[in-house]
């Protein structure tokens, strides 16, 4: 292989890596953020409780439902997922 072919392969690898990284970041944003997002557990849960008109028992059930699918997720992430599912189911 000559040096031009090697340079071309390296450039294509870098561009491909950048595209993969951008895709992963976009998908994380679409799902509500990556782990470590600034959303706090209390704020996420409070927003969920507000969405169910103060029914904390309902909010707890929604969080536990999400925990079944993602047992390792943080409480903030679970509350955020529950809120997004609730809004999606309500057609918002």
Query: What does the pLDDT read at residue 66?
Result: 95
Is the four-CA dihedral 80, 81, 87, 88 of positive or negative sign? positive
Query: What does the pLDDT read at residue 34?
Result: 46
- Give the residue numbers spanning the domain of 22: 1-30
Full-prediction pTM beyond 0.95? no
Please tell me whether residues 57 and 79 are part of one structural domain. yes
Residue 84 CB coordination number (10 Å): 15
Q: How many residues does this entry show for the chain?
A: 92
Classify residue 27 as left (phi > 0), alpha (psi -120 to 50) or beta.
alpha
Query: What does the pLDDT read at residue 38?
Result: 42
d(CA 80, CA 63): 9
Please tell me whether residues 55 and 91 are part of one structural domain. yes
d(CA 76, CA 42): 7
Query: What does the pLDDT read at residue 29?
Result: 62
Please tell me whether residues 66 and 24 are part of one structural domain. no
Give me the chain's average pLDDT, please.
Answer: 85
Could you report the average pLDDT of every consecutive run of 10 residues in the chain (92 residues)? 86 87 72 52 90 96 95 92 93 76
């Amino acid at each position: 292989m000559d040096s031009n072919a090697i340079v071309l392969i390296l450039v294509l690898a870098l561009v491909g890596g950048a595209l993969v990284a951008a895709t992963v970041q976009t998908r994380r944003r679409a799902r509500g953020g990556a782990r470590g997002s600034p959303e706090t557990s209390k704020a996420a849960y409070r927003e969920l409780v507000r969405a169910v008109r103060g029914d904390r028992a309902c909010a707890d059930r929604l969080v536990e439902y999400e925990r079944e699918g993602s047992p390792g997720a943080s409480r903030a992430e679970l509350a955020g997922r529950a809120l997004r599912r609730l809004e999606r189911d309500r057609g918002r």
